[in-house]
Structures are given as C-alpha cells and as structure tokens.
Amino acid sequence: MELSQVEQYATGAHASLATCDSLEALASWHQQHLAKAGELTAFKKSVGKVAPEERKAFGMGVNQIAGKLEAAFKQKTTELKDAELALRLASENIDVSLPARPHRVGGYHPLTLMLREICGVFRDMGFTVYESPHVELDEMSFQLLNIPKHHPARDMQDTFFVSEDVVMRPHTSPGQIRAMRELGPGPVQVILPGMCYRNEDISARSEIQFHQVEGVLVGEHVRFSDLKGILLNFARRLFGPDQAIKMRGSYFPFTEPSVEVDIKCTLCHGEGCRICKHTGWLELLGAGLMHPVVLKNGGYDPTKVRGIAFGLGVARLALLRHQIEDIRLFFQNDCRFLSQFQ
Ligand code: PHE
C-alpha cells in the first residue's frame, strides 16, 4: 500500500463531496468515507501492510488526509445547512412591501354628524343637553303641554300609542316639562335632542322616526327677541354669516305667540328654485314664547318668568346641508350613501 494510492482516493472523495447538494447526500457520503466501516478507515487499518520503515510517514500522511477530509466534510455540512436555512427563510418570507389589504373603518351616520354640529352650536351659546325618554306619558307629551285629551291640536301629530296613557314621543317637547321640573326653579337653558316617532306615510319628505332638537330657555329676563337672536345666530353658524331668517305667525298649543321660522333658501339665496318651490324661503322650525300654562306645569310662576322654546328637525337641516332630496335615504342604511359623509 502506497500513500499515493490514498492521495488518489482522497482526490476522488473531495470531488464527490463537492457534488453533494443536500444533507441526505452528505450523510451517505459520510457513510461511505468517514464512518467506521468507511473507506478511509480501511486505509488507516492497512498501515500494517506497509513496509516498517515507511509506516511512520504513511501513518502521518493518512492522518493528514483524514483531517483534511473531515474538515472539508464539516465545512460542506455548514454550507448546506446555511443554504437550506436560507431557502426556508426565503420561502417563509413576509413581503412587507406588499400593499396592505384595505381595512374598512366605520364612520358616523350623517344624521349623527348633523346632530352633533347642531348641539355644538347651541353649546357655544350656553345651552346644555338634557335627554328625556322616548317612550313617554301622554300627560307629558300632550296634557301638560296644553293639549288636553281629544283636543284637535293632537291631529298635528299622528301618534303611536303604546297604551292608553303611554306614547312613543311624537316630538321632543315633553322634555320641556321634565327639564323645568328637574332643573327649576332657577333659570333653565337646555337643548333636548333625540328621536321622535309619528305614524306618518313614509315619503321623500317624512319618515316615521326622525330626530328633533328642542331648545328651552326660561328665566326672569327672557324675551321674544332672545328667540330671534338665538335662531339667527344658529342659522348663521350653520349656513354662513349672511344667512337671513324670517318669522311667520303660527300656532302651537304650548307657545303663545307661536312662530314658524324660515331661512332664506340656502341653494338659490332667495332667487327662487325647485328646492324652495320658488318662494325663496325654506321652513326651518317651530318656536314661540312658552305658554303660561306650560310654565306653570313646569313649576314656574308665569307672572314672574318667561320662557322661549323652539323645535327643529335634524334631517331637514341635513337635507339642506348636503342637498339631498329624499329623507328615506337616511334610514335605508345603504353603505354607498352613508360612506359619502365620513
Ligand atoms: N313640537 C313642535 C313640533 O314637533 C315644535 C315646537 C317646539 C314648536 C317648541 C314650538 C316650540 O312640531
């Protein structure tokens, strides 16, 4: 046995190591060459067959070759492991540069936005919010507001009755009595926002449920001109500093005198258009000086204090603000409509 034979073998072994392209191939290479029953072990054992004077050199040579093969094997193992890891990482890679899937975020309903805006304007004028029940006594909704049972003024609202004495409130006005009774006998300055219910035929102009915001101001020095000032300021805050309003005499059982307030058409500015039916004006709300009977029912002495009250429809303002022509859209909950207001 000559060392050159071992060297020749080693050259082949290195070459076949280089062609190993997986950890499995590497393992069988190891089995063939470096394992106990491998070819290299056989060479090591053959040292006995070498002539005694060459044995030392042969042994050292074989050991050197074995060392090199082992080192090469180790290096190859590391290389293949690294490559496999890199491959796995690449396949499991999260591409952070991919555009994100759109995430739909909810938004506020246009009526909620309108309601908040209205409340904000009145808050700036010193009003606080007072909430009263949606399911309300007939007494609060009508009788204490100067509308006795069977009074023809009840026809102004086609009311949903829960029982003989309980109704779904057809307006926010019952809150007038509740607010005065709870917050009196001193001055009261509140708005009463909330949903109201009426048995209306549903059409482009009316729904069976709708938001109102009622305003109540009670005190010794309250005058009709306060009503005018508050409402003019309100209209100008919503529709711009040149917005004009107009008061027309009207009738509500719970106010005396009563008015209806119009705003100059926000679309044609009084020129006359389809929206204002060529009158140049749009009906905005009902209002008036609180009737002495109502003040009395609220716990006040009507000879000493006065009150003003007004009630406006929120959807009406939202229709004007967004130039929408059908109130039904607000409750159909079609996202294509609703998402335009966020
Ligand atoms: N409650 C009346 C309505 O619903 C509006 C109103 C409120 C009128 C306050 C005068 C005073 O039509």
User: What DSSP string describes 107-165?
Assistant: ---HHHHHHHHHHHHHHHTT-EE----SEEEHHHHTGGGT--TT-GGGGGS-PPBSSSS
What is the pLDDT, as a whole number, of residue 158?
A: 87
Give the closest residue (by CA) to ligand 1 atom 12.
286
Residues in contact with ligand 1 by the CB-under-6-Å rule are 171, 173, 214, 252, 255, 286-288, 309-311
Cα of 252 to ligand 1 centre, how many Å?
Answer: 7
C-alpha distances in angstroms, 121 versus 67, 167, 191? 89, 30, 11
Q: How far is the CA of 170 from the centre of ligand 1 (A)?
A: 10
The Å distance, Cα 38 to ligand 1 centre, comes to 104
Atom of ligand 1 nearest to the CA of 215: 9
What pLDDT score was predicted for residue 212?
Answer: 96
pLDDT for 178 equals 97
DSSP 8-state class, residue 46: G
236 CA to centre of ligand 1 in angstroms? 21
Residue 120 Cα to ligand 1 midpoint, Å, equals: 20
Residues recorded for the chain: 342
Closest CA to 280 of 296, 299, 261, 267: 267
Which residue's C-alpha comes closest to atom 9 of ligand 1? 310
pLDDT confidence of residue 324:
87
- 50-93 pLDDT, tens digit per residue, is 888 888 888 888 899 999 999 999 999 999 999 889 988 888 88
> What dotted CATH number matches 110-341?
3.30.930.10
Are the CB atoms for 171 and 214 separated by under 8 Å? yes
Domain extents in the chain: 3-91, 110-341
Q: Which residue minimizes the CA distance to atom 7 of ligand 1? A: 311
pTM for the full predicted model: 0.71
pLDDT of residue 78: 92
> Looking at ligand 1, which residue's alpha carbon is closest to its atom 5?
311
| Mean pLDDT of all residues belonging to the chain | 92
Looking at residue 103, its pLDDT comes to 83
CA distances from 92 to 84, 95, 217 (A): 12, 9, 68
CA of 261 from ligand 1 middle (Å) equals 11
Choose one of 214, 227, 256 to mutate for the ligand 1 pocket test, by most ligand atoms within 8 angstroms of C-beta.
214
Query: Per the structure block, which two tokens stand in for 296?
Result: 């009395």
pLDDT for res 291:
98
**Each residue's pLDDT tens digit in the chain (342 positions)?**
788 888 898 899 999 999 999 889 999 999 999 888 888 888 888 888 888 888 888 888 889 999 999 999 999 999 999 988 998 888 888 888 888 888 888 889 999 999 999 999 999 999 999 999 999 999 999 999 999 988 887 777 789 999 999 999 999 999 999 999 999 899 999 999 999 999 988 888 888 999 999 999 999 999 999 999 999 999 999 999 999 999 999 999 999 999 999 999 888 888 988 778 899 998 889 999 999 999 999 999 999 999 999 999 999 899 888 888 888 999 998 989 998 887
Q: Whose CA is nearest to atom 2 of ligand 1?
A: 311
With the most atoms of ligand 1 within 8 angstroms of its CB, the residue from 169, 252, 254 to mutate is 252
Rounded to 10 degrees, the C-alpha dihedral 320/321/322/326 comes to -30
pLDDT in tens, 39-58: 888 888 888 888 888 888 88
Report pLDDT digits (tens) over 274-303. 778 899 998 889 999 999 999 999 999 999
Q: What is the dihedral of CA 276, 280, 283, 287, to 10 degrees?
A: 180
76 alpha-carbon distance from chain centroid: 58
